[in-house]
Amino acid sequence: MKQHRLAAAVALVSLVLAGCDSQTSVELKTPAQKASYGIGLNMGKSLAQEGMDDLDSKAVAQGIEDAVGKKEQKLKDEELIEAFAALQKRAEERLTKMSEEASTAGKKFLEENSKKAGVVTTASGLQYEVIKKADGPQPKATDVVTVHYEGKLIDGKVFDSSVERGSPIDLPVSGVIPGWVEGLQLMHVGEKYKLYIPSELAYGAQSPSPAIPANSVLVFDLELLGIKDPAKSEQGDAAK
């Protein structure tokens, strides 16, 4: 609830820039001007992700002008509360629909994917495919590993990628989503897997970000680069 209220408020602020005439030039020279543009850009992205693309940018600009100029507001508080409630209800309905669609599509995807050659399904429901085999050691739940990864939705949309950032990450095996905890312990250092993670082994009914709808099946290209040496890590911490 609070998240949607915040998103709606943030979206309103973002539309100030959108309210400007497309032919009006905006100077972006001073730090304040650049920061203002950055705020609008970030909030505009948030707006798009929330699906609120029909708000009136001119009304937004008028509201801010009235507030800054300490003018009498044109709508009563009761009217504003009613309007925000309507937007929030619409946002919740949209998220519920997306969640239901993701759940249905995910189940169908996993069912069909399980029939493909090379795909293994574990007792938990995790599906994986060995892309590159290696003979390195296997991590334990207590280990910290170095990995490269790319996460996608079942439609192929990338939502996170260390590959794109050009930098692998270190993470505790037991500190990630259940699908990763299980998948990492199946791998040998040097191997590449493709993990197909059911929503209940990922984020379930909770959406960690607008880029990942609730109840989504997640697909990861995962490469296990190494297992961190606890002794060296302790020595490094002691040297600091």
Cα 101 to Cα 93: distance, rounded to the nearest angstrom:
12
Query: Which residues partner with 149 through β-bridges?
Result: 222
**pLDDT category, 235, cuts 50, 70, 90?**
very low
**pLDDT category, 229, cuts 50, 70, 90?**
confident
Nearest to 222 by CA among 109, 146, 165: 146
**pLDDT category, 230, cuts 50, 70, 90?**
low
Q: 93 to each of 10, 172, 187, 205, how far by Cα in Å?
A: 19, 36, 40, 15
The pLDDT tens digits for 85-100 are 888 888 888 888 888 9
Q: Which residues are catalytic?
A: 149, 159-160, 177, 203, 220
Structure token pair of residue 103: 């759940």
Identify the pLDDT of residue 94.
83
Mean pLDDT of 68-95: 86
Of 69 and 153, more confident: 153
Identify the pLDDT of residue 43.
67
Which of these ranges, 55-59, 61-65, 151-155, 182-186, has the smallest mean pLDDT? 55-59
Is residue 170 pLDDT above 90, yes or no? yes
Handedness of CA 73, 75, 79, 80 (dihedral sign): negative
Element (H, E) at 184: helix 178-186
What structural domains and CATH numbers belong to the chain?
103-228 (3.10.50.40)
> What three-state secondary structure class fits 53?
coil
What single-letter DSSP state applies at residue 214? T
Contact 109, 102 (CB under 8 A): no
Cα 211 to Cα 107: distance, rounded to the nearest angstrom:
19
Is residue 159 pLDDT above 90, yes or no? yes
Contact 177, 202 (CB under 8 A): yes
Of 40 and 140, more confident: 140
228 CB-near residues (< 8 Å, 6+ apart): 143, 144, 145, 146, 170
